[in-house]
């Protein structure tokens, strides 16, 4: 079944259909209070990357957005920065993809085929890969989608919102069963042995339950899973939470040292949050709150 958010699934020739989908998308999302039949939920309100809301608002995209759409490519690009000598990979500034059965090579910049990727230009290569995959190769399809969307609501009226607020506005706040969330959360790293009894994990749930209002809970869910709308959590509860690959990916809290990052890190493909081993609840509350709020600014917290 087609997912209308998978923008690259349709050829440029289907732009008229994409325009109509943009109008249908807004009409359906704005009526989220209606009980949808199962087939419509799968078609339209399936777990969708926040990248789509960035497209709607014209917000800048980042390399981190690529993880939601193509986790393997994102991981491989990140690994390039850890190599002592990138040139051993024999890369150049091109992308080769299958286009309806035909291999097609696209240059990421002028004369990219003759420009080798080195340690000195690997950051530029990663940025150009991100730009191509998230913007350039789908620009006509995105344009048609947005023209349909803006035909219903003028773009200027949306400028008051950030992309996370727009999702909450269109999809509504989810009804979060905290006990179900806790019961079906998995723990890895240093948290695995003690699980919910680990002191840092206890602090985490205390902050979520006692300090976060419904919007902050939704933003936390948004931060970790990539979406927070009313259908972010399946009808079966958190035990059926899915990743972007449609496999069951339960909410997971993984430990990392504070020396690696003082901020929590999210891996939306796997519904996993890397939670530093804080030495106080106050510090956990501070940096967790900052992380879920800074997500909407477009700044990288690494």
* Candidate list 30, 89, 115, 269, residue with the active-site label: 269
Cα distance between residue 168 and residue 220, in whole Å: 12
DSSP secondary structure of 114-167: G-B--TTTHHHHHHHHHHHHHTGGGHHHHHHHHHHHHHHS-GGGGTTS-HHHHH
Report how far apart, in Å, the C-alpha atoms of 277 and of each of 213, 265, 270, 283 are: 24, 12, 20, 10
Going by their DSSP bridges, the two strands 102-107 and 252-256 should be labelled as unpaired
Exposure of 274 in the CB half-sphere (CA atoms within 13 A): 13
| CA 1 to chain centroid | 21
DSSP 248: B
Exposure of 217 in the CB half-sphere (CA atoms within 13 A): 22
Q: Is the Cα dihedral 191, 197, 199, 204 positive or negative?
A: positive
H/E run at residue 255: strand 252-256
Rama region for 18: left / alpha / beta (φ>0; ψ in -120 to 50; rest)? alpha
Report how far apart, in Å, the C-alpha atoms of 57 and of each of 51, 86, 253 are: 10, 36, 31
Catalytic (active site) residue 269: yes
Q: Give catalytic residue positions.
A: 269
């Amino acid at each position: 079944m087609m997912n209308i958010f998978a923008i690259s699934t349709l050829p440029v020739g289907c732009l008229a259909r994409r325009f109509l989908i943009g109008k249908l998308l807004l009409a359906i999302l704005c009526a989220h209070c209606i009980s949808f039949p199962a087939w419509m939920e799968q078609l339209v309100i399936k777990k969708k990357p926040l990248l789509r809301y960035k497209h709607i608002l014209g917000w800048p995209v980042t390399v981190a957005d690529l993880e939601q759409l193509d986790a393997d490519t994102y991981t491989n690009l990140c690994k390039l920065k850890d190599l002592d000598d990138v040139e051993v990979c024999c890369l150049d500034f091109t992308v080769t993809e299958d286009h309806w059965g035909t291999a097609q090579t696209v240059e990421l910049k002028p004369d990219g085929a003759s420009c080798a990727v080195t340690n000195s230009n690997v950051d530029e290569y990663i940025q150009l890969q991100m730009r191509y995959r998230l913007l350039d190769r789908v620009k006509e399809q995105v344009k048609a989608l947005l023209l349909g969307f803006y035909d219903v609501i003028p773009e200027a009226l949306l400028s008051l919102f950030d992309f996370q607020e727009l999702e909450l506005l269109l999809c509504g706040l989810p009804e979060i069963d905290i006990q179900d969330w806790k019961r079906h959360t998995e723990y890895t790293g240093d948290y695995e042995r003690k699980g919910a009894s680990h002191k840092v994990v206890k602090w985490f749930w205390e902050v979520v339950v006692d300090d976060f209002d419904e919007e902050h809970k939704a933003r936390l869910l948004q931060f970790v899973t990539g979406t927070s709308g009313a259908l972010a959590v399946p009808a079966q509860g958190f035990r059926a939470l899915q990743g972007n690959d449609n496999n069951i990916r339960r909410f997971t809290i993984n430990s990392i040292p504070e020396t690696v990052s003082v901020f929590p890190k999210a891996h939306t493909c796997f519904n996993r949050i890397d939670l530093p081993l804080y030495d106080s609840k106050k510090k956990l509350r501070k940096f967790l709150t900052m992380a879920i709020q800074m997500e909407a600014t477009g700044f990288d917290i690494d």
